[in-house]
Every structure is written in C-alpha cells, then in structure tokens.
Amino acid sequence: MPEFMHAPVLIVAVLLLAAFITPLLGKRQAATNAVFLGAGVVALVLSVGMTLRVLAQGTLSYPVGGWPAPYGIVVLVDVFAAYSSLVLATVALIIFWFAAFGPREVRHNGAYFTLILLLTAAMQGMVMAGDLFNLFVFIEISSLAAIAIIAIKGTKESVEASFRYLVLSALGSGGLLFSIALIFMITGHLNMDYIRTTLMVTAEQYPLNLLTSIGLMVVGFGVKAALFPMHVWLPDAHSNAPTASSALLSGLVVKVYIIALMRIAYLALGLEIFALFPIRHLFLALSTGALVAGSVFAMVQDNVKRLLAFSTVAQVGCIFLGFGLFNQRAIEGGVLHILNHAVMKSLLFLTAGVIIHQSGIKKLSQFSGLGRKMPLTFAAFTIGAMSMVGVPGTAGFISKLYLALGALDADMLVFAVLILISSLLNAAYYFPIIISAFFGRDSDAEATDPAFAVLAPVAVLAGMVFFFGMFPSLMVPLVRQTALLFVR
C-alpha cells in the first residue's frame, strides 16, 4: 500500500516550507493565517494517515532520498513515533489557531509564525528520527526556535528568560553532541539500528565511554525536558513568553525531549544495555523530587503563568515516573500523560493568556470575583485545573490511574502514594484559584469574556479533556503497543 509512504518527510517538509512562506507575505494578514493554519491542517492529515498506516502495517522505515542506511538518513516511524507525531500535530494545530485569532502579543505575526512553524517541524522531525545526527539537527532547530519565540515578546523579562534558557539549553546540546560523538566512536555508526547491533558486540570493550555517553545524554535531555533539578530555566521562560508560545513550550516542547530520549533508549542502545545502567532509578528519584518540589513551588506563586510553569515541572516528573517504573501499565500511563498533559496544560496557558489580556490581571491574589465577570473563560480554566488534579471524567485522571496501577504492578506502593500526594498538592493550589474567582468578593477590575473566535480553540481543548477522560480507548491501541516496545 503506497498511501502515506512519504508522510514522515512530507510533514516536516510542509511545515518547513510554510515557515519560509509566511514572512514573504508581509502585511497580508489573511494570507499569512491561511498558510500558517493550512500547514497545520496538512500536517495533521498526514500524521493521521501515517498513524493508521503504522497501525495496519507496522513500523515504517523511510530512507530519505532513497539512500539506504548506513549511507543515507533513515526516518523510522514506529507506534511511539506515530503517536507522538499525532499528539504534536493535533495540539499544535489548536495552538496555531489561537495564535492566529487570539489576542496579538507580538508585533510581526509573520516572523512569529515562521518561528512556531520551524519549532513544530523540528519537533515532528525529532520524534521520527532514526539517525542520531539527524536527531541532533532537529534538536538544535527546535532549541533555537523555542528560545526565539520567548524573546519575541520583547520585554526585559522575556529577553532575560530566553537568554538563561539559551545558556542552559546550549549546555544541554553540548552534552548531547559529545554523547553522540562517544557513541560514534564506540560503534562507528549514527543510524540507530546499526548502533544497537554494533553495541551488542562492542559495549563490553568500552564500558566507561558508554557510561559517559549515557550520562551526558540523560543530563542533556534532562536539561531540555526540565527534569528536576535541571528545571531552573523553565518557570521564567514559560511564564514570560507570549501566550501561544507558553502553551507550545509547556504542552509540547518539553515532552519531545523525553520522547527522543526514550526512543534512543530502545532504538539505539537496546533495552539490555539501557537496563545495565541505573537510569530508571535516577528517573524514579528525580521524578519524586519533581512531583513534590514542582507542586510546592507552584503553591507559593502569585503569578498565574509562573504557577502553571511550576506545575509543568511536576507533570514532567509524572511522565518520567512512568518510564522509571518501567512496566506495561506505568509506561502506558506515562505515554498517555504526554497527550493528556499537552491538552490540559495548553488549555490552562491559553485561558490564562485570555484572562491576562481581558482583565490585565496577572496576580492570583487579584483574581477574586473575576470568574463571575468572565464565566466561560474561567469555566475552561476550571476544566483544565480539574484535569490537573485528576478528577474522574477528565483526561488527567486516566493517566494518573494508569501510573498508580503501574506503581502497584511494580510492587512500589510508595510511588502510588506519591501520585496521590501530588494530586492532593495540585488540588491545594488549583482549587483556591477557582474558589476565589467564582465565589470571592468582587474586585473593581473590568473584564468580560472575549469574542467567540478567541475562545473557540480553548473550547476545543476543554472538549478534548473530557473526551480523553471518558473515552481513552481511542488512544489505547497506540499506547499499549508503545508500551510493548519497552516491555517485550
């Protein structure tokens, strides 16, 4: 079946092409929006087609330009890559929609859309890469684009935050490059399949090189994915960016690095070698720290976007916890949480942006009574917050349930308790916001719900929170097969 055979490269190509067209359109707003959203829609269609193909026919290995490995670059789309690509395409399209019709926060939409499209193209390329150097190129593109979409707001804080992100992210990239160089030294290959087969023979001869390489890799991806305690750049960066950037960064970008790391773990290193090093224990320890510290830091924030950013630190911990526990249910939970957190955190960031734009209020202490003035916006915020806490019927509940069942399957009761504690902590900082907004004393702030066009993408995300909360079975075949890649 030849359908969607070229989808893996077409997704990246379409997004890249659109990225170069948007600045050429200058001030023609309608045309810019059309190209921007059109690229998102095409990427989504290709991604859906590719996912169906992978589900029907198994892993799709695509040699770029017809050059076979090890000479050419291979794009390798397995179920995990297809799932990630689908999540990226869906959530990114909704954020594109908001960026095009939501409140304007940047002066040149053309340039802004270029950066967003570059970032999305790089993320799509990253989750499908079958070659370490190709992966590294996409990591660099996405890092630079991510830094630029923070700084584009032009305020002092955002430039400072993006500079800090630049420095730490460059350190991470340096670590990754060094780690890839060490792997190349041991195996002589950059193609992940070839690395795995060669490592089986050569790993024993170079244990120290391999250890250094894996250490650098975990730290490099850890910095970029904001794994506690390497998260220090995240709160400033995510809270000072324009709204659409915050949603994109918190919802998708941090997770792409987790996906890339885990793909390297089973594709390039192989599970046997991955299991030789105490990476899982590291994940367990650090995600425990993230879940507790992220929530505790979030509790003391007064700026709504900073609170959401710290909550991301905790939720990234949740995803790592799934991979740390490393059994069927836990990995299903972690992988589902990639989708669920992307949906709910984008929802929360977009509503927070709408609230800030409509009322001019950033501080939670001034939210009192605001919910009665803008009921629809705060209803959407409530839905996102309930999902974060893990109220049944919402998406967040499903992934936390799977993670808790995974912890029980692994006979590690302490992590099931940890998940319960973390949802209690989430309740402790999300519920007071909602209570004061809906039932608090009226403040003299003037605010109303925005126009329908602004709220439509938010409403779609809120619907998705309920949809994936009620019918997770839609994603289950993909998620189950993904988990089987790790626990065969």
Partner 1 sequence: MQATSYALTLPVMVPLMLAVVIYAVGQRSWQLRNGLSVAAALSSFLLVVQHYRTIMADVTLVAEFPELLPPLGVSFRMDHLGFLVAAVVSFVWLLVTIYSTVYMVKEHAKNRYYPFSVLTLAGAMGVILSGDLFTFFLFFEMMSLSAYVLVIHEETAEAMRAGYRYLMLIPAHTKRFLWRRSCPYCAGAN
Q: Which of 292, 427, 456, 460 binds partner 1 (CB under 8 A)?
A: 427
185 binds partner 1 (CB under 8 A): no
66-85 binders of partner 1 (CB under 8 A): none
Q: Which of 20, 67, 439, 452 binds partner 1 (CB under 8 A)?
A: 439
The Cα–Cα gap between 370 and 336 comes to 33
370 binds partner 1 (CB under 8 A): no
375 binds partner 1 (CB under 8 A): no
477 binds partner 1 (CB under 8 A): no
423 binds partner 1 (CB under 8 A): yes
Residue 225 has, within 13 A of its CA and on its CB side, a CA count of 30
16 binds partner 1 (CB under 8 A): no
Q: Which of 391, 445, 459, 460 binds partner 1 (CB under 8 A)?
A: 391
| Phi, psi dihedral angles at 233 (to 5 degrees) | -80, -25
Query: Encoding tokens for residue 44?
Result: 């989504």
Q: How far is the CB of 271 from partner 1 (least distance, A)?
A: 22
Q: Which residues contact 27 (CB under 8 A, 6 or more apart)?
A: none
470 binds partner 1 (CB under 8 A): yes
Residue 424 has, within 13 A of its CA and on its CB side, a CA count of 7
By C-beta, is 120 or 422 nearer to partner 1? 422
Binding segment (CB under 8 A) for partner 1, from list 76-84, 95-103, 135-143, 432-440: 432-440
The Cα–Cα gap between 253 and 396 comes to 19
Q: How far is the CB of 240 from partner 1 (least distance, A)?
A: 31
Q: For the chain, how are helix, strand and coil distributed in percent, rounded to 5?
A: 80, 5, 20
What is the helix (H) or strand (E) element at residue 244, kind and residue range? helix 243-248
409 binds partner 1 (CB under 8 A): yes
Q: Any alpha helices (H) in 68-131, and if so which ranges?
A: 79-101, 109-128
Q: Which of 275, 435, 484, 487 binds partner 1 (CB under 8 A)?
A: 435
Polymer length in residues for the chain: 488
Q: What angle do CA 333, 128, 137 make, to 5 degrees?
A: 120
Q: How far is the CB of 131 from partner 1 (least distance, A)?
A: 36
Q: Which of 95, 148, 151, 398 binds partner 1 (CB under 8 A)?
A: 398
Q: How far is the CB of 439 from partner 1 (least distance, A)?
A: 5
If 0-12 CB within 10 Å is exposed, 13-18 middle and 19+ buried, where does residue 81 land?
buried
401 binds partner 1 (CB under 8 A): yes
Size of the site for partner 1 (CB under 8 A): 29
293 binds partner 1 (CB under 8 A): no
By C-beta, is 329 or 337 nearer to partner 1? 329
Q: Any alpha helices (H) in 300-327, and if so which ranges?
A: 304-325
324-363 binders of partner 1 (CB under 8 A): 329
82-141 binders of partner 1 (CB under 8 A): none
User: Measuring CA to CA, how many Å separate 224 from each of 124, 144, 261, 288, 463?
Assistant: 16, 12, 11, 18, 30
Q: Which of 167, 420, 451, 487 binds partner 1 (CB under 8 A)?
A: 420
393 binds partner 1 (CB under 8 A): yes
411 binds partner 1 (CB under 8 A): yes
Q: How far is the CB of 332 from partner 1 (least distance, A)?
A: 9
Number of H helices, E strands in the chain: 21, 2
Q: Which of 185, 476, 484, 487 binds partner 1 (CB under 8 A)?
A: 476
By C-beta, is 297 or 397 nearer to partner 1? 397
Strand segments (E) across 102-248: none
If 0-12 CB within 10 Å is exposed, 13-18 middle and 19+ buried, where does residue 384 land?
buried
If 0-12 CB within 10 Å is exposed, 13-18 middle and 19+ buried, where does residue 302 land?
exposed
416 binds partner 1 (CB under 8 A): yes
Binding segment (CB under 8 A) for partner 1, from list 131-139, 199-207, 396-404, 458-466: 396-404
Binding segment (CB under 8 A) for partner 1, from list 150-158, 285-293, 390-398, 455-463: 390-398
DSSP assignments along 388-414, one per residue: HHT-TTSHHHHHHHHHHHHHHHTT-HH
392 binds partner 1 (CB under 8 A): yes
The Cα–Cα gap between 484 and 488 comes to 5
Q: Bridge-partner residues for 191, per DSSP?
A: 131
Binding segment (CB under 8 A) for partner 1, from list 81-89, 140-148, 153-161, 398-406: 398-406
User: Measuring CA to CA, how many Å separate 285 from each of 276, 319, 364?
Assistant: 17, 13, 31
395 binds partner 1 (CB under 8 A): no
Note the residues at the interface with partner 1 (CB under 8 A). Answer: 329, 386, 389, 391-393, 398, 401-402, 404-405, 408-409, 411, 416, 420, 423-424, 427-428, 431-432, 435, 439, 470-473, 476
